[in-house]
Amino acid sequence: MNKEQAKKRIDELNRLTAYYATKYYDDDAPEISDFEYDMLMVELRNLEKEYPEFINTNSLTQKVGGTVKEGFEKVEHIVPLQSLQDIFSFDELDGFDIRIKKEAEENNIKLKYVVETKIDGLSVSLEYKNGNFVRGATRGNGQIGEDITENLKTIKTIPQVLKENIDIIVRRRSIYW
């Protein structure tokens, strides 16, 4: 692939991923499978890595998809909620394992893995003050999400009171109703 072809394909992938992300995140009407979308993103990341001069700041490799919905109070995240990294091959899994073990060893951290099947759900941040659940918010665009505290209070697996009186913000992935 030459530079002109790469630029054209990167532009096309940016249009496609933006369209499919809107259908999925904003319209709640996905048109392709998660795997098909992920493969478009992998191709885009690889091309941007090979041709960094064509990286667009609006590329979904550079930001989180989704927008803040109308009708909900907006919540600004203290720490941005970024997308989680996907792994699609045993080679990528081995690379992840090597990186994590190296970092754990350098920081004298004992390492254990917990692995679960990826199931689609909602990523949220849960905010506790003095051990009490005070606010829950969606990821939104990573910087600003929607306040869904009252909805989250109905989920039995989300503790309303912690065992310790601490202030903490927890990111929880895969919330289901």
Q: What is the pTM of this model?
A: 0.57
Whether 43 is in a domain gets the answer yes
How confident is the model over 10-64, as pLDDT tens digits? 999 999 999 998 888 777 788 998 889 989 999 999 999 999 999 988 888 887 6
Q: What is the CATH number of the domain that holds 18?
A: 1.10.287.610
Residues of the chain above pLDDT 70, percent: 85
Whether 80 is in a domain gets the answer no
> Where on the phi/psi map is residue 31: left (φ > 0), alpha (ψ -120 to 50), or beta?
alpha
The total of structural domains in the chain comes to: 1
Per the model's pLDDT, the better-predicted residue between 36 and 176 turns out to be 36
pLDDT, mean of residues 107-125: 75
Given a cut of 70, whether residue 112 has pLDDT beyond it is yes
Whether 21 is in a domain gets the answer yes
> What is the residue range of 19's domain?
3-54
- Using 50, 70 and 90 to split pLDDT, how confident is the model at 130? very high
Residue 19: name the closest of 46, 41, 48, 43 by CA.
Answer: 41
Task: Give catalytic residue positions.
Answer: 118
Whether 23 is in a domain gets the answer yes
Rounded to whole angstroms, how far apart are CA atoms 10 and 55?
A: 8
Query: Are the CB atoms for 122 and 138 separated by under 8 Å?
Result: yes
Whether 50 is in a domain gets the answer yes
Classify 128 as helix, strand or coil. strand
Given a cut of 50, whether residue 138 has pLDDT beyond it is yes
